[in-house]
Amino acid sequence: MEVTLQIPDDIAAHLTEGGGDLSRRALEALAADEYRSGHLSKPELQRLLGIETSFELDGFLKAHDIWIEYSMTDLERERAGFARLGL
């Protein structure tokens, strides 16, 4: 699907003053918001943005202030794993 946005020329000029691809920024903003809202999974987000590695995906999430949920259960599971390894 292709989506077209109508942006007044003066505003578009202002938004592109710092450089960068405005279309890409709009896609990333939409993707980040939809992921944050729970409408996209990590694999869907990765595919939508053409991101190849989970490392790159983590960088994207961090750049958009999206933090991975990490519970006390997750912490305890990791601590137990480290203890089994003698760490």
List, as one string, the DSSP characters of 42-74: HHHHHHHHT--SHHHHHHHHHHTT------HHH
Q: Say what the pLDDT of residue 43 is.
A: 94
Classify residue 37 by its DSSP letter. Answer: T
Q: Say what the pLDDT of residue 18 is.
A: 80
Q: Say what the pLDDT of residue 67 is.
A: 87
Question: What residue ranges of the chain have pLDDT lower than 50?
Answer: none
How many CB atoms lie under 10 A from the CB of residue 75?
10
Q: Say what the pLDDT of residue 56 is.
A: 95
**CA triple 27-43-35, angle to 5 deg:** 50
Q: Dig out the tokens for 2 from the structure.
A: 């292709």
Full-model pTM:
0.74
Pairwise CA distance, residues 75 & 72, whole Å = 5
Q: Say what the pLDDT of residue 87 is.
A: 85
Q: Say what the pLDDT of residue 33 is.
A: 96
Q: Say what the pLDDT of residue 29 is.
A: 95
